[in-house]
Structure 1
Amino acid sequence: MQKDHFFTRRRMLLAGAATLGAAGTARGVLAGGATETTRAAPPVSGPQARQALKPSAFRLQPLTGDGPPHTEPRKLKVRREPILQISGRGRRMMLTFDDGPNPDYTPHILDALDKYDVRAMFFVCGECVADYPELVARMADEGHVVGNHTWTHPLLTTLNRKQIHSEMKRTSDIIEHTYGEPPQWFRAPYGAWNRAAFQLGAEMGMEPMAWTVDTTDWMEPGTDTIIDRVESGAAPGVVVLSHDAGGDRSETVHAIREWLPYLLDSGYHLTVPPRRV
């Protein structure tokens, strides 16, 4: 059964905490793994010719049996703020989905992405992966990037370091077993970061990823509002936050079928971060 027990609480917390994930100086992800300060350009006006998107060069095959052998992650430099944008030439954007997987909504989102040959990031909760591992295996098979969103979606700023470590480590372990390799990205629930989250994420080989544009789909504002949020917020470097679980996400499913082709027709290339080796 889908774990939506935190849904009512997230409505109250997100209103105050979402700004933590989208405020401050934007940091961009570079092809080489370094960072630079970037600023989003104004939204593109007027449709442009759709650019052909090539299938991902990196497609993980779902693993069976006992899963892959465990490898210790490479420790990263500890950041003081999460990454908010991607960088690079051209109209590049990134789509991200939180809180899943969920059998009622995630398959429809994956179907829409597959229809337009687009890759995205899914920040999954460990307890949901345990319930629906086949959906994470499908994400791997179709070339999407899976990130760590903790096990039970707690507000990290209310936990001690040991509890935060457990939430993150258990989720990384089940992602590695189901997806095929440990996650390289972490997103704090509610966008509420603290020093322990940055430090532990770096120790586990994960970069902190926030967002630039919040679709507000977690508020269930209506399909048209979600569409407008994405289309009006579109700009080079933008990271879009949506959800494929945590509540009724039917509006999100309907909206992506509208705004996804719009972005492509506007000349955007929807990408995912490069894999670190």
Structure 2
Amino acid sequence: MEKDQLFTRRRMLLGSAALLGAAGAGGVLMSGGGDEAARTTAGLAGPQARQVLKPSAFRLQPLIGAGTPHNAVPGKLKVRHQPILRLTGKGRNMMLTFDDGPHPDYTPHILDTLAKYDVRAMFFVCGEMAVDNKELLARMAEEGHVVGNHTWDHPLLTQLTRGDIRDQIERTSDVIEDAYGDRPQWFRAPYGAWNRATFQLGAEMGMEPMAWTVDTTDWMTPGTSTVIKRVEHGAAPGVVILSHDAGGDRTQSVRAIREYLPYLLDHGYHLTVPPRRMT
């Protein structure tokens, strides 16, 4: 549990800054603005929540649309100045995201709940966790979830050199590709701390920057009922929910999703994921 304790100390130290950053950006559609922003997120869609999934197809095909061939090198991406914060488009679409894992004590329970309701989610994994739990990344691939890059060991990237940032991201992408079957197409900076080098390097490696709209603050272990209320009260079309499946005791996160996921579905929300390959 040494890694968990380290994550917890980091989050308590920098959590308030991350919350301020997320709150200040909460009403923004995404970086870049205009037509470019709309084109990028217009494809963020997934299966109907209660549709029966066919896991065997997920490793061989993009999640939606034509996409590009499996393991194809992604095209050059535009360097953004802000991360993507929410989904666009018509309908009651939302996305669940989980950071810092995978963790053998918590991630399987979250995956079980998602599978129960035939829902896909997004997992931003840390390389040092993924390398010891590759079977969980393989399960994510088989069950149609999207895996993003969350650096190797969750540092504050704004305090690192450009070379160190690249190393943090590349090492993690290598582990993801080995276990998941694809290099990640999405990146999330720890603590929501972005800088120019982070945006540039992510784009060079074929990854779009993804942030969030609603932070459950489950990393503070505020109580299961509080986590549930933050999701249910924050639910709205286009919302991206931030939760965690590692980095500390995530028992509350496991219990909370069992309550708020059926609530969201019963209230007509479509839980979705972005495509594996941008078109």
Structure 1, gaps ≥5 residues long? 38-49, 62-68
Aligned pairs for 1:26-65 within 5 A:
26-27=28-29, 34-36=36-38, 52-55=50-53, 59-60=58-59
Aligned to 2:144: 143
Aligned pairs for 1:75-94 within 5 A:
75-94=76-95
1:54, CA displacement in angstroms? 5.0
Q: Secondary structure at the match of 1:97?
A: strand
Structure 1 residues 22 and 193: alpha-carbon distance in aligned structure 2, compared to 1, 3 A threshold: farther
Aligned to 1:225: 226
Structure 2, gaps ≥5 residues long? 40-47, 61-69
Write the distance in 2 (CA, Å) between the matches of 1:198 and 1:255. 32
Query: Per-residue displacement from partner, 1:92-141 (whole Å, max 9, x unpaired)?
Result: 00000000000000000000000000000000000111111000110001
Check conservation: 1:60, 1:141, Cα contact below 8 A. Answer: yes
Aligned pairs for 1:198-237 within 5 A:
198-237=199-238
1:22, CA displacement in angstroms? 4.5
Write the distance in 2 (CA, Å) between the matches of 1:239 and 1:51. 16
1:3, CA displacement in angstroms? 2.5
Aligned to 2:67: none
Write the distance in 1 (CA, Å) between the matches of 2:118 and 2:71. 31
1:238, CA displacement in angstroms? 0.1
Write the distance in 2 (CA, Å) between the matches of 1:109 and 1:92. 20
Aligned pairs for 1:243-262 within 5 A:
243-262=244-263
Check conservation: 2:49, 2:118, Cα contact below 8 A. Answer: no
When normalised by structure 2's length, the TM-score is 0.86
Check conservation: 2:50, 2:119, Cα contact below 8 A. Answer: no
When normalised by structure 1's length, the TM-score is 0.86
Root mean square deviation, CA, Å: 2.3
Q: Secondary structure at the match of 1:114?
A: helix
One-letter code aligned to 2:212: W
One-letter code aligned to 2:198: A
Check conservation: 2:30, 2:83, Cα contact below 8 A. Answer: no
Write the distance in 2 (CA, Å) between the matches of 1:201 and 1:118. 27
Write the distance in 2 (CA, Å) between the matches of 1:51 and 1:208. 25
Aligned to 1:3: 3
Write the distance in 2 (CA, Å) between the matches of 1:211 and 1:93. 11
Check conservation: 1:28, 1:237, Cα contact below 8 A. Answer: no
One-letter code aligned to 1:26: V
Check conservation: 2:212, 2:239, Cα contact below 8 A. Answer: yes
1:8, CA displacement in angstroms? 1.1
Higher helix share: 2
Structure 1 residues 105 and 203: alpha-carbon distance in aligned structure 2, compared to 1, 3 A threshold: same
Check conservation: 1:2, 1:128, Cα contact below 8 A. Answer: no
